[in-house]
Amino acid sequence: MKRPLKHLSRWLRLPLHRWQAKRRLAEYHARTRSLDEVIDWAMHFGGQGHMKVQTLQVPWEITQLAKAVQALEPKVILEIGTARGGTLLLWSYLASEEVIACDLNDMSRQAPIFSNFPPPQSRCRVSLLSGDSHRPEFKQRVAAALAGRKADFLFIDGDHTVGGVTADYLDYREFVRPGGIIAFHDIVEKQPLPTNQVAQFWQKLKQETPVEEFIHDAGQCGFGIGIVRVPD
């Protein structure tokens, strides 16, 4: 009986939580932000219920990734696995044209906040695609959203099983331009959850392809970001 009550309470408080998130977004947009500030906002935006914005990252790791992406001067960014929108906030700061954010979850409740992530002076727009990245029809929706463009950067942070992350890499790498970057989250071997199997995929990929790793501490539990640069 506890869970349905929790859901009802979240649903009833949604307008309040959305109002709070809008105020927080206005605070974020009140002045021009540096990259370091945006990373800090992505991790500590806060909020309640469905409107909480957050990313769980090691600051040094996400900063290295953000700098590598910024150096691409990205127009289009594709993200698989958006969750509470923390990394989406960051990509919305970096992309000049569009961020296409994909998640299994229905993101319609967060849409009024997520769609307004880009800074006021930015011409970037945010497209939210809810569905299973592994389904062929979902891939077609991504292709339609790209409309013939290639992404400069693809962030794979969705299904963390070895089969899931492998499928996302094989299915979506064709959408990244030559010279672009594909990044994976949670590449270190010691993960807190057994379903976090990205390390198994990563160890295999490393044998076949040149990679770069952003791992703050070799002994850490969880996290770690790996990138592959698409050959020119």
The yes or no reply on residue 103 touching ligand SAM (CB under 6 A) is: yes
Q: Give least dist CB 231 to ligand SAM, A.
A: 25
Euclidean distance between CA atoms 137 and 119, whole angstroms? 32
Tokens of 97: 């044209």
User: Which parts of 113-132 interact with ligand SAM (CB under 6 A)?
Assistant: 132
Q: List b or e across 183-194, with b for residues whose CB sees 16 or more CB atoms inside 10 angstroms.
A: bbbbbbeebeee
Contacting residue, 158, 180, 224, 226, with ligand SAM by CB under 6 A: 158
Q: Give least dist CB 27 to ligand SAM, A.
A: 19
**Contact pattern for ligand SAM over residues 58 through 97, marking x by CB under 6 A:** ----------------------xxxxx-xx----------
**SS3 of 105, please?**
coil
Euclidean distance between CA atoms 62 and 185, whole angstroms? 9
Size of the site for ligand SAM (CB under 6 A): 18
Q: Give least dist CB 77 to ligand SAM, A.
A: 12
The yes or no reply on residue 98 touching ligand SAM (CB under 6 A) is: no
Q: Give least dist CB 132 to ligand SAM, A.
A: 5
Stretch that binds ligand SAM, among 9-17, 44-52, 110-118, 156-164 (CB under 6 A): 156-164
- Residue 102's φ and ψ, nearest 5 degrees, are -120, 140
Q: Give least dist CB 56 to ligand SAM, A.
A: 6
Q: Is 53:86 a contact under the CB 8 Å cutoff?
A: yes
Instruction: Give the CA angle between residues 44, 122, 62 to the nearest 5°.
Output: 35
Q: For residue 130, what are the CA distances in angstroms to 48, 66, 104, 110, 170?
A: 21, 24, 5, 12, 20
User: Which parts of 179-218 interact with ligand SAM (CB under 6 A)?
Assistant: none
Q: List b or e across 207-221, with b for residues whose CB sees 16 or more CB atoms inside 10 angstroms.
A: eeeebebbbbeeeee
The yes or no reply on residue 47 touching ligand SAM (CB under 6 A) is: no
The residues of the shown chain that bind ligand SAM, judged by CB under 6 A, are 55, 80-84, 86-87, 102-105, 132-134, 157-159
